[in-house]
Amino acid sequence: MRIGVFICHCGRNIAGVVDIKALVDRVSTLENVVYATNEMYLCSDPGQRKIQEVIKEFKLDRVVVAACSPKMHGATFARAIEEAGLNPYLIEIANIREQCSWVHQDLRKIATEKAFKLIKAAVAKVALAKPLEPVYVPLTRKVLIIGGGVAGIQAALDIANGGFEVYLVEKSPTIGGHMAQLDETFPTLDCSACILTPRMVEAARHPNIHLYTYAEVKQVEGVVGSYKVTIEQKPRYVDPEKCTGCGDCAEVCPVIVPNEFDQGLGGRKAIYIPFPQAVPAVYTIDLEHCLNTEKLIVCEQCYKACGPKAINYLMGPKEIEIEVGAIVLATGYDLWPIENLREYGGGEYPDVINGLEFERLLCSSGPTGGVVRRPSDGKIPKRVVFIQCAGSRDPKHGCAYCSKICCMYTAKHALLYKHAVPDGEAYVFFIDVRAAGKRYEEFVQRVMGTDGIKYLRGKVSKVFQRNDKLVVWGVDTLSGVAVEIEADMVVLALPIVPSQGTKELAQMLKAPTDEYGFLSEIHPKLRPVESSMMGIYLAGAVQAPKDIPDSVSQASAAASKVLSLFSNKQLALDPIKAEVDLEKCVGCGECAKVCPFGAITMKKRLDKKKRKYAEVNKALCQGCGCCMAACRKEAIQVEGFTLPQLRAQIYAILDAKPTKVEIKKKEGGNEDKTAIVKPR
Amino acid sequence: MAEKGKQTMEIAYFPGCTLKNTAKRLETSALGVAKLLGLDLRELPNWTCCGTCFSLAEDNLMKQVAPIRTLSRAASLGYSVITTLCSVCYNTLKQADLFVKSDPKRLKKINTFMEEEANYEGQIAVKHFLTLLDELGEEKIKEAVKHNLNGLKVGCYYGCLLLRPQSIAIDDCEQPQIMERLMKALGAEPVYFPYQVECCGSYHTAVHPEIVARRAYRILENARENGAEIVVTSCPLCYFNLKDRQKNIKEIYSGFKPMKVSYFTEIMADAFGLTKILENG
Amino acid sequence: MRLVLKKNDGLLKKIKAISGEDIYACYQCGMCSAGCPMGQEMDLLPNQVIRLLQIGAERQVLHCRTVWLCASCFTCTARCPKGVNLARLMEGVRLFLLRTQKEDHFSPQQMVKEPLPPIALIGALRKFTT
Ligand SMILES: Cc1cc2nc3c(=O)[nH]c(=O)nc-3n(C[C@H](O)[C@H](O)[C@H](O)COP(=O)(O)OP(=O)(O)OC[C@H]3O[C@@H](n4cnc5c(N)ncnc54)[C@H](O)[C@@H]3O)c2cc1C
Ligand code: SF4
Ligand code: SF4
């Protein structure tokens, strides 16, 4: 065996604490080590080249690199030794930076000793390493996208245009998400529907996109490469093949309820289409409000009115099973409930509204036909107060983060309000104006310079009703005066929070979330669109508050990740996976019980006794090692981290050797194997 | 009623200085009401002033000795609940309790200070009388009503010390309902007025009566604008500021019309037909 | 007027020791000032008191009326998004002044001559005198 050890200075990061020269000297004396050296930056090109040269010159068959965390450069060094002709698993990284020099800055001697032990352990472990080959598993090159907002639509189109099949699942009756509700969009003020609806139609018509609206993902099994997904489609009670979208049914429906799409500011019938350009353009009966129940039919108005006979009261929910290789999460956001802000009378006063409600009031296809009218009495508000950070950046309300988009949409609201009500006054309360985006600052400056729009720096403490006015108590901290404004309407920029149901979805997919429930990315800077759960990608506001350009960029980024995954026919997985030794396996099944990924199944042997044995599905196995700990026979082991390797590591660190193995018969007959370790 | 009361728990009652002085009406009416409802309030023997105004100094535990001594005495007499009628006493006792309890070192230190008392372990629940009534339930109150208040429009004024800081609040600190529930049970019609949680100026009445008058003016006018015929409170200081300062209001705002102000317990006593008790003191 | 800022954390430390409050938690949103019932009577708004302390302009704070007008109503404390207990901070400044100046802010003689509820008297004495 010929092991080479390479110790990195990492500039002064390691060398400033650990005595490198002494370390090299001591390491050289270790068993099997034929060469030991040090380098300023091993991860640099010359550093890697040095490793490769030494491998060739000294005919090394294994390598130990003592440097930073393997999370940082493990892959870099593995690739380097592979290029030099070694199997990439015949390397061990001793982390002497994060686990040594950084945490023992003032303890040079002890740090040097610890570094030596870590290297010694790595040498002992790598001596037992075996060459490993990647595990190839089948890859279903189809993708599931959950959420049909602008992010989901964008990701779907990109992947579909790349030539792969897409299942787009949307829980409401139409795709489009919140963007469909917006009037005009900052900073260009282009009409939201005008730019979105062509995309919606394109998605629906795309031959590679299977669109499931009014549907939810019910179950997901499996891992990257092959997920089995169950989609539940709620009954619309209208046959989408027959419905022409004429709307004759809604004309005659006697039930009127608030329209969710208009934030409840307008009405719709029990049979409805959320908005005229909805995709698919199919009507839906909302059974909760329809006079009929699942058991009893008392009204047939719509059925009678429907020319193509599309209505079917007997439709039931449908389950669809699909198989995909990757999943994009794009379930977007909700606004934080306005009722949480009691000091502003949220939920109490009808004219204290949220931003999306204001969008609907501005929108020419909205409930007021684009005339801004206040909900309480339909009057045109002549003085509107906008309150930014109404709940955001507010740890007391459990929302410490900045919602990022509200500075911009509030500026937009103030301007569009002035366009709609030229003699009206707009007051904006802000703590900071965050306008870091292309042309954003220019837009905000334009708004601030508009006659009739006043920006006041400070927060509002209280809003209350006086006759038919809303009294706003605020402050302008720049001038140092507390102010009172008698307003006709108050618009709150509420926090953006993950949409309802996202938490459960993330749990089902085992995809981690942050403390607010937004999906977590694996690396905030370098891998911002991937979940740490391999095969799950993030697009749009599901990850953090985002405006449309950011949501779309991220959706395209997620799509490109999926496309690069799909560029292979098979999925090459790291071979760090459980392996069963059939000689030792007694078929007790403990491993299958503890496996969190369901990767182990118990099979029957073909011999006469038909004894059982464990079999590992390599695609499902994540190499966590739970089985290894559970197996009493040491019959199942994770490659690259086998028990002999781990023991060798421990003995090396403890400077000990197993001296005796006692086998006691315990009551009940279980063997209890105890390895006694004595210091030398 | 009285028989039933026997089964209920004895509750320590801490009057505080003002109830034995300018706010006698609050005490008499409350005790009458409590008796009728079967709440067994027992005045703590040899209580001392709570200190008024919870001391906000982090570095001076001495200021907590007065309120904690009261709690300690109640505890050593075997009580588990102490009640007060005055909002200021409530706030001081409750905040002091939370303050010393929140840090075991503090609790130990204050117990050392109060050598002569039994150790206080934080076992006493400080409850305002309004909370006791709320726990008793609407039905019990309704049963006791003899003269329904017939839609009397009442503005419930909470002021500060029942609601803030949040850690001691007896109800939602922006839109409380606890007094409203009580008034409804009496047959009155509570009116919401936004100033019900706004400060009256408190102890500034001793040095800046004009500031207090301005505050009181806004509060009373706001109650009136919203339809109140009478304003009720549980705090003797608010009561003084809203009622006795009306003469100062008149000096500043000549058009000001008097507004009725009363303790919530007086209204209860009226509704329960206990007016006699009140008159006799 | 241009204020010369110097390093002087002494006062801040003392006020912190008395009040237990971290003034740097405040991000100057002004909500305290927007809702302060005494705001109209004050020379500095509550958020300005913190601001001046934050930047080290303590003289202004020690000479302002504001801290004496604060009525410990806790409105700011209840609403501050950052959880700053401003009522405590105000008391911190008051106590610092009372303890160092050895002089009461109001003597009992300066109080109104009319029968007052004991809580008003004791309250005022506790806030304005040592
Ligand atoms: C008042 C306001 C004004 C705005 N104005 C602008 C503007 O002018 N310019 C701009 O750039 N941005 C603006 N935005 C931001 C914009 O709305 C977002 O950037 C954008 O909507 C994010 O898209 P998304 O697809 O990530 O999420 P969403 O639009 O929220 O879409 C998510 C979709 O997923 C669906 N879904 C949720 N859960 C599930 C589930 N479990 N299963 C299936 N489907 C599910 C939802 O029904 C929805 O269709 C504004 C936001 C607000 C609140
Ligand atoms: S984006 Fe602006 S308004 Fe919204 S939370 Fe952040 S700073 Fe406040
Ligand atoms: S409310 Fe709190 S954070 Fe805002 S200025 Fe006042 S003390 Fe600072």
Q: Domains along chain A? A: 3-126 (3.40.50), 142-179+186-220+319-332+499-565 (3.50.50.60), 235-316 (3.30.70), 336-495 (3.50.50.60), 578-679 (3.30.70.20)
Query: In the CATH scheme, what is the code of domain B145-280?
Result: 3.40.50.11810
What integer pLDDT is reported at residue B4 of this predicted model? 38
What integer pLDDT is reported at residue A593 of this predicted model? 95
For A410-435, the pLDDT digits (tens) are: 999 999 999 999 999 999 999 999 99
pLDDT at A28 over 90: yes
Beta bridge partners of A33: A3
Measured between alpha carbons, how far is residue B274 from residues B31, B34, B151, B239, C103 in Å? 11, 11, 19, 21, 50
Counting ligands in written order, the one closest to the CA of C39 is 3
Distance from A359 to chain B by nearest Cα, in Å? 28
CA-wise closest residue to A530 among A224, A229, A156, A323 = A224
What integer pLDDT is reported at residue A206 of this predicted model? 98
Whether B167 contacts chain A with CB within 8 A: no
Nearest to B21 among C112, C117, C126 (CB): C117
For A280-338, the pLDDT digits (tens) are: 999 999 999 999 988 889 999 999 999 999 999 989 999 999 999 999 999 999 999 99
What integer pLDDT is reported at residue A583 of this predicted model? 93
CA-wise closest residue to A340 among A356, A351, A331, A352 = A352
What integer pLDDT is reported at residue B3 of this predicted model? 40
A151 lines ligand 1 (CB under 6 A): yes
Question: What's chain C look like in SS3?
Answer: CCCCCCCCCHHHHHHHHHHCCCHHHCCCCCHHHHHCCCHHHCCCCHHHHHHHHHHCCHHHHHCCCHHHHCCCCCHHHHHCCCCCCHHHHHHHHHHHHHHHHCCCCCCHHHCCCCCCCHHHHHHHHHHHCC
C31 lines ligand 3 (CB under 6 A): yes
Please check whether residue B223 is in contact with residue B157, taking contact to mean a CB–CB distance below 8 angstroms. Answer: yes
In order along its 130 residues, chain C shows pLDDT tens digits of 788 888 777 888 899 999 999 999 999 999 999 999 999 999 999 999 999 999 988 888 999 999 999 999 999 999 999 999 999 999 999 999 999 987 889 888 888 999 999 999 999 998 998 8
Core vs surface per residue A654-674: b (16+ CB within 10 A) or e: eeeeeeeeeeeeeeeeeeeee
CA-wise closest residue to C16 among B57, B227, A419 = B57
Cβ-defined contact of A471 to B172 (cutoff 8 Å): no
CA-wise closest residue to C17 among C87, C71, C84, C91 = C91
Task: Report which of residues A582 and A674 the model is more confident about.
Answer: A582
Measured between alpha carbons, how far is residue A642 from residues A121, A130, A578, A596, A636 in Å? 14, 10, 9, 19, 9
> Quick check: helix, strand or coil at residue A313?
coil
CA of B227 to the centre of ligand 1 (A): 44
Question: Helix axis angle, B65-76 relative to B87-101, nearest 10°?
Answer: 90
> Quick check: helix, strand or coil at residue B248?
helix
* Distance (Å, whole) CA A31 – CA A63: 13
List the residue whose alpha carbon is closest to atom 6 of ligand 3: C32
Nearest to B23 among C18, C112, C117 (CB): C117
* Distance (Å, whole) CA A205 – CA A200: 9
Query: In the CATH scheme, what is the code of domain B10-130?
Result: 1.20.1050.140
Cβ-defined contact of A477 to C32 (cutoff 8 Å): no
Whether C37 contacts chain B with CB within 8 A: yes
Weakest mean pLDDT among A412-421, A582-591, A661-670, C48-57 = A661-670
Closest ligand 2 atom number to CA of residue A401? 5
Where in chain B are the domains? 10-130, 145-280
Cβ-defined contact of A462 to B194 (cutoff 8 Å): yes
Beta bridge partners of A258: A267
For A523-573, the pLDDT digits (tens) are: 999 999 999 888 999 999 999 999 999 999 999 999 999 999 999 999 998
What integer pLDDT is reported at residue A679 of this predicted model? 47
Please check whether residue A341 is in contact with residue A391, taking contact to mean a CB–CB distance below 8 angstroms. Answer: yes
What integer pLDDT is reported at residue B275 of this predicted model? 81
From chain A, pick out residues whose CB is under 8 angstroms from the CB of B194. 462, 464-466, 471
Closest ligand 3 atom number to CA of residue A459? 4
Q: Which of C89, C97, C119 to mutate to test the interface with B (most CBs of B within 10 A)?
A: C119
CA of C77 to the centre of ligand 3 (A): 9
* Distance (Å, whole) CA B24 – CA A112: 79
From chain A, pick out residues whose CB is under 8 angstroms from the CB of B225. 466-467
* Distance (Å, whole) CA A126 – CA A430: 60
What integer pLDDT is reported at residue B281 of this predicted model? 56
Mutate to test the pocket of ligand 1, among A331, A406, A508 (most ligand atoms within 8 A of CB): A331
For A472-514, the pLDDT digits (tens) are: 999 999 999 999 999 999 999 999 999 999 999 999 999 999 9
pLDDT at A671 over 60: no
Distance from C81 to chain A by nearest Cα, in Å? 5
B50: its two tokens: 């709570």
CB neighbour class for B104 (10 Å; exposed up to 12, middle 13-18, buried from 19): exposed
Mutate to test the pocket of ligand 1, among A150, A172, A179 (most ligand atoms within 8 A of CB): A179
Dihedral pair phi/psi, residue A448, rounded to 5°: -60, -30
Element (H, E) at A192: helix A192-205
Chains sharing 3 or more CB pairs under 8 A with chain A = B, C
**From the CB of residue A369, how many other CB atoms can be counted at a distance below 10 Å?**
11
For A107-156, the pLDDT digits (tens) are: 999 999 999 999 999 999 999 999 999 999 899 999 999 999 999 999 99
What integer pLDDT is reported at residue B1 of this predicted model? 36
Core vs surface per residue A64-75: b (16+ CB within 10 A) or e: bbbbbebeebbe
B90: its two tokens: 């409530």
List the residue whose alpha carbon is closest to atom 8 of ligand 2: A389
The residues of chain B scoring below 50 in pLDDT are 1-6
B126: its two tokens: 């400080």
Rounded to the nearest integer, the mean pLDDT of chain A is: 94
Counting ligands in written order, the one closest to the CA of A399 is 2
From chain A, pick out residues whose CB is under 8 angstroms from the CB of C46. none
Q: How many CA atoms lie within 13 A of C75 on its CB side?
A: 29
A546 lines ligand 1 (CB under 6 A): yes
Q: What is the dihedral of CA A501, A505, A506, A511, to 10 degrees?
A: -160
What integer pLDDT is reported at residue A673 of this predicted model? 52
Domains of chain C as residue ranges with CATH? 9-127 (1.10.1060)
C85: its two tokens: 């207990």
Please check whether residue A555 is in contact with residue A540, taking contact to mean a CB–CB distance below 8 angstroms. Answer: yes
